[in-house]
Structure 1
Amino acid sequence: MKIKLLLFLYFLNQCTAYCQQQYRADSLQVENLNALSYKIRLTDPRKTINTGKQALEVARKINFELGMAEAYRVIGIGYAYLGENDTAIAKYSMALSLFKTTRYGEGEAKVYNNIGNLYKYYDVEKSLNYFQKCLKISQKLNLEELTAGCYINIAHIQIKQEKYDLALKTLNQSHEYFQKTKNSVGTALILQYEGIIYEKLNQHAKAKDLLTRANELAKKKKFYNNVGSINLTLASIYIREKNYQKAQDLINEGIQNARLSQDKKLEEDYIHTSYELEFAKKNYEQALMHLRKKFKIDSIALNSVESKKITLHQEQFKFIEQQKQTEILLERQKTSRVIFAATAIVLLLSLVVITLLVLQSKKRAKTYRQLRELNEEISLQRENLNRVNQNQELIIKERTQDLEDKNFKLSQYSSHLSHEIRSPIATIKGLLILEEEDLMEDKELIQEIRKSIEDIDNKLMNINHMLHNPKYKTFVISEKGDNDVPPSGE
């Protein structure tokens, strides 16, 4: 029984260890896929979406809530870079809900930052509100990188609000961190926004220098979207300076980078910049073509609004359903944890009970063995006592002649002998009765029997001594039972 229990516990432990190891391996895979998906967002947003979906699938299988939330977030980032803002906001909403459920503040702050980036081209007030939520959480949790990123985004809103001096101060709050950590993305964005600010302040030379540095850094790191955005501003500056060839080169390069980053909105912005270039060159026919192209794109975009609304409703419905499923999964997981904990407690208690039973059994066996040894010792002492009595009889028979001389002694001693010897024997019998009734502990029984036997032995030795000592003609028996007191006058 004991071996079977140990085997069962070992098997259970091995199964638990394997499940934990497999969960750790799968969760690590989810984290790696999410990290890769986020890393390639600037160069290949389509791949960002596909990699994020792989992470989401694995996270769902193991009920890894944080992994699911981060997967939704990076998928939303991919759709945002592709200009599919309706899908992006749906994914962000799913991520935000899961981060709130798991109470993961850093993830919640990142999603607020992502949503703010969606609104910054359409509703600066909403965008600023989300950036401020992000900033509040990141400062509370001491997340330096996220805090610095929030400051950059807030500066972008301040530029749109034409608060240029305030925007420069806000950018300075994050500039030191990105330089210290050598974060190329953050540094390129700061240089870009500073260039835009100085361009708005009509300091074109300084603006061109900052934007050129930002362009070189973005090209070096292959940040296609950043290169496209920077070239857009530089092209506008060169159009004002009537350096049309340089402006055209930047537009061509920018369109190429916009296509590489798959940013449709950026491509549309370049159509408008191309119109401005041709109009400045007084090439009205070409400018009109660009304007028609822009109008056509706007018309198509307008016609697709209803479709996007329907898609958004579908995404919202999917989100609600997925949220319900997630809540069900979380509840099941909590129940499973409770069941697992209860099972573990029951097994632990069973193991304790079995251990106690084994110990009790061993204790009983030990007590039984000790009692048997004591019984053997008592039997041996009884045999010894019998031998002593037999020896006394032999001595009496052999010394019949001496008995005539000791009759007087024995007559005086008989009453005392009957009292003194019977007393310890009666004590022994009483002790044996107590032992049979389990009213006395083994150690105490042994101790009392030994005392009685020693008492008997001492009394017999004294009797033997006085019987064989001729100078003792008679006995004087004290009240205390002392047999070795000589008679008066002796």
Structure 2
Amino acid sequence: MKIIRLGSFLLFILISPLYVFGFQKVTSADTSEVIRLNKEAYKARLSEATKTVALGRKALALAKKIKNYDNGVGESYRIIGIGLGYQDNQREAIDNYLEALTWFDKANNKNGVAKVYNNIGNLYRDNDHNVALQNYKQGLSIALHLQDTALLASINLNIGNVYVRKNQYPDALAQFAIARKMFSIVKDSASLISCLQNTGVVYNTIGKPDKAKEMLLMANKGAKQLEMSATIASIDMTLADIYIAQNQFDNAEKYINEGLSYSQNKRTDYDYKYTRYQLEYKRKNYGKALEYLSDIYKLDSIDYHEYVSNQLKLLKASHANEKTLKDQQVVIAKNRNNQLILTGAVISSVLLTGLIILLILNVKRKAQTNKRLTELNEEVSRQKDNLDRINHHLEEIIDERTKDLQIKNRKLSDYSSYLSHQIRGPIATLKGLMNLEKEGLVDEKECISMMNKCVSEIDDKIIDMSDMLHDPDRAGF
């Protein structure tokens, strides 16, 4: 009984963590709304980054109201970071990415962690290639373990972009080819367009303009179908550069005008001014070219000051983020240790419960064995009593048979004596008659008559002896 109570107590301890961590109720409507908001926000990142941030913050506020919804909070922070990254707000973007890492680690969401490393790599892609590659490879390692094709495609695309910036063009094209194949498998049209665009840029850089135009025109068509304004503006700028180099000025102007109509930020407008300068200079319209060059100079001066200011802010934020990252790593390590301890406790509880079950089963087996042995002992006792009774009965039978044999032996002895006494006389008479007959001293008929008489007497004696042997009532001869 004590063993059963102990087993029940340990089973309760085993089930309690599963209840606490796995069976608490979460409102499905609220979680679905968080997921919907984050998906909509992510979809808007290329065309309306401000909408991405706004929807991400709305999803975050809702996710925090849901108890134990760590994955929803982590994903909301990640989406906000993506939107801020597209707005060139690196400082706030990295803060949100670090928050996302914390929540995903808490939820043990490896896929979420890998995505965040990929996003952090994007922030460093234009400033620190080595740090960017380090983050990409961390995400790639996790994605390979999870066999997440969509995530692997995205990371391969980003690694290819870093190789472009490092002038490692064959490596970049190889990464883009892998990414294109994976994006086709998962049917991610937006990412496939980005991959085609980047491949076209590389072909243009290495002196293959026709191949570049093929890729870029495909990307342009797809981007228009998905209404990816920023992407269209970027693709058109590269197409304009190619057409200018080939002296196809009308085509170049067409894509410049189209790109400007889709442009959504000051940086892209600046780049298009420079492309217009190149176009007018190539056309030998030096007056217009000078006007564009003057505008570029003014924008350069303003942008330079903003750039220096932003770099100082980014440097300051980087130092703060390094400290935050270290703190986050300490928290992550503690969370992992706690998870290991919890896992160890659960495993110990399972093993202990299994041991108790085995002990209970062993006790039951012993009880059954003892019961069986008792039954066998009782059966042996019954068999022994039966044997004792049989042996006693056999002794009585043997005694009776012995007495009977003794009586028969006595009768046989008496018979022998009687035979020798009763039969011997008539036989002796027969011998005498035979001798007398040989000597001729007796008449033959008289001899035969006397012999018949002796034989009859012998026969009567034998019959009488046989009756006595078979008649138990006669005690003697």
Shorter-chain TM-score bucket reads: 0.5 to 0.7
Q: Which residue is 1:216 aligned to?
A: 221
Q: Contact conserved, 2:63 with 2:69, CA < 8 A, in 1?
A: no
Alignment deviations for residues 429-482 of structure 1 (CA, whole Å, 9 cap, x no partner): xxxxxxxxxxxx55554444432322112222344566689945879xxxxxxx
Counterpart Cα distance in 2 of 1:324 and 1:4 = 42
In structure 1, list runs of 5 or more residues that go unmatched. Answer: 259-266, 372-440, 476-488
Q: Which residue is 2:461 aligned to?
A: none
SS of 1:271 mapped into structure 2: helix
Task: From the superposition, tell whether residues 163 and 332 of structure 1 become closer, same or farther in structure 2 (CA, over 3 Å).
Answer: closer
Q: Contact conserved, 1:87 with 1:315, CA < 8 A, in 2?
A: no
Q: Contact conserved, 1:119 with 1:126, CA < 8 A, in 2?
A: yes
SS of 2:42 mapped into structure 1: coil
Identity across the alignment (%): 21
Counterpart Cα distance in 2 of 1:236 and 1:467 = 140
Task: From the superposition, tell whether residues 321 and 176 of structure 1 become closer, same or farther in structure 2 (CA, over 3 Å).
Answer: closer
How many corresponding residue pairs? 396
1:302 maps to amino acid: V
Q: Which residue is 1:455 aligned to?
A: 391
Q: Which residue is 1:271 aligned to?
A: 270
Alignment deviations for residues 30-74 of structure 1 (CA, whole Å, 9 cap, x no partner): 99978984785352342675488579969994888xx99877766
Task: From the superposition, tell whether residues 294 and 52 of structure 1 become closer, same or farther in structure 2 (CA, over 3 Å).
Answer: farther
Q: Which residue is 1:329 aligned to?
A: 335
1:458 maps to amino acid: L
Comparing 318-327 with 3-12, greater Cα deviation is found at: 3-12
Counterpart Cα distance in 1 of 2:36 and 2:65 = 14
* Deviation at residue 325 of structure 1 after TM alignment: 2.5
Q: Which residue is 1:255 aligned to?
A: 263
Task: From the superposition, tell whether residues 237 and 60 of structure 1 become closer, same or farther in structure 2 (CA, over 3 Å).
Answer: farther
* Deviation at residue 218 of structure 1 after TM alignment: 1.7
> Equivalent residues in 2 for 1:30-179 (5 A)?
37=38, 40-44=41-45, 45-46=52-53, 49-50=56-57, 61=68, 76-89=81-94, 113-124=118-129, 127=132, 149=154, 152-160=157-165, 168=173, 171-172=176-177, 174-179=179-184
SS of 1:338 mapped into structure 2: helix
Q: 2:319 aligns with which of 298, 313, 316?
A: 313
Q: Name the structure, 1 or 2, with higher relative contact order (CA <8 Å, separation 6+).
A: 2
Counterpart Cα distance in 1 of 2:238 and 2:102 = 37
Q: Which residue is 1:483 aligned to?
A: none
Comparing 29-38 with 79-88, greater Cα deviation is found at: 29-38
Alignment deviations for residues 205-258 of structure 1 (CA, whole Å, 9 cap, x no partner): 6644532321221232344442332133235456775448635532433323x5
Q: Contact conserved, 1:42 with 1:225, CA < 8 A, in 2?
A: no
Comparing 70-79 with 324-333, greater Cα deviation is found at: 70-79
Alignment deviations for residues 318-342 of structure 1 (CA, whole Å, 9 cap, x no partner): 3333332232222223223333333
Task: From the superposition, tell whether residues 52 and 226 of structure 1 become closer, same or farther in structure 2 (CA, over 3 Å).
Answer: farther
Counterpart Cα distance in 2 of 1:363 and 1:49 = 68
Q: Contact conserved, 1:59 with 1:68, CA < 8 A, in 2?
A: no
Counterpart Cα distance in 1 of 2:332 and 2:170 = 46
Task: From the superposition, tell whether residues 87 and 60 of structure 1 become closer, same or farther in structure 2 (CA, over 3 Å).
Answer: farther
2:342 maps to amino acid: S
Name the Cα RMSD after superposition.
5.5
In structure 2, list runs of 5 or more residues that go unmatched. Answer: 46-51, 412-475
SS of 1:41 mapped into structure 2: helix
* Deviation at residue 273 of structure 1 after TM alignment: 2.0
Alignment deviations for residues 151-182 of structure 1 (CA, whole Å, 9 cap, x no partner): 54454445445566775566445545544554
> Equivalent residues in 2 for 1:91-490 (5 A)?
113-124=118-129, 127=132, 149=154, 152-160=157-165, 168=173, 171-172=176-177, 174-179=179-184, 182-200=187-205, 207-236=212-241, 241-243=248-250, 246-247=254-255, 249-256=257-264, 267-274=266-273, 276-277=275-276, 280=280, 282-283=287-288, 288=294, 291-293=297-299, 295-357=301-363, 442-464=378-400, 471=407
* Deviation at residue 83 of structure 1 after TM alignment: 2.0
* Deviation at residue 191 of structure 1 after TM alignment: 2.6
Counterpart Cα distance in 2 of 1:444 and 1:114 = 83
Larger radius of gyration: 2
1:22 maps to amino acid: F
Q: Contact conserved, 2:80 with 2:93, CA < 8 A, in 1?
A: yes
Q: Contact conserved, 2:3 with 2:360, CA < 8 A, in 1?
A: no
SS of 2:23 mapped into structure 1: helix
* Deviation at residue 137 of structure 1 after TM alignment: 8.1
Q: Contact conserved, 2:34 with 2:59, CA < 8 A, in 1?
A: yes
1:326 maps to amino acid: I
The normalised TM-score by structure 2 is 0.59
